[in-house]
Structure 1
Amino acid sequence: MKKAEIGNIIEFREGLLGLVEKVNENSVIVDLTIMENYRDLELEEKTVVNHKNYKIIQGTL
């Protein structure tokens, strides 16, 4: 499994997208505000996702 890098866009939890801001040993911290419907979903701006729970959608911006 390839780990995400800073700047990657990942998909997790059935369709949520996030921009990777920090890579930790077991997880990444992602910015969710890149999603068009971010405000409608009433989510926090950032979240932590374990490396096992995402797939890379787009390479580094």
Structure 2
Amino acid sequence: MKIAEVGNIIEFKDGIKGVVEKVNENSVIVDITITDNFHDLEMEEKTVVNHKRYKILANNE
């Protein structure tokens, strides 16, 4: 399992996308405001996602 790094774009839970802001031992903190329908989701701007629950879409390279 590849662990995301700060700046990576990840996808989780039915297509929600976000930018990794912090990497923890078991999870990442993600800013999800880049998701197309963010305002319709009625979620906070940031969320925590377990390493097992996301897919890396783009690296920060």
Same fold by TM-score greater than 0.5: yes
SS in 1 for 2:17: strand
TM-score by length of 2: 0.93
Offset of residue 54 of structure 1: 0.4
How does 1:1-61 map onto structure 2 within 5 Å?
1-60=1-60
Partner Cα distance (1:16, 1:35) in 2: 6
Structure 2 residue runs of 5 or longer lacking an equivalent are none
Q: Which has more helix, going by share of residues?
A: 1
Give the structure-1-normalised TM-score: 0.93
Residue 37 of structure 1, CA deviation = 1.1
Q: Which runs of 5+ in 1 are unaligned?
A: none
The runs of 4+ residues in structure 1 deviating greater than 4 Å are none
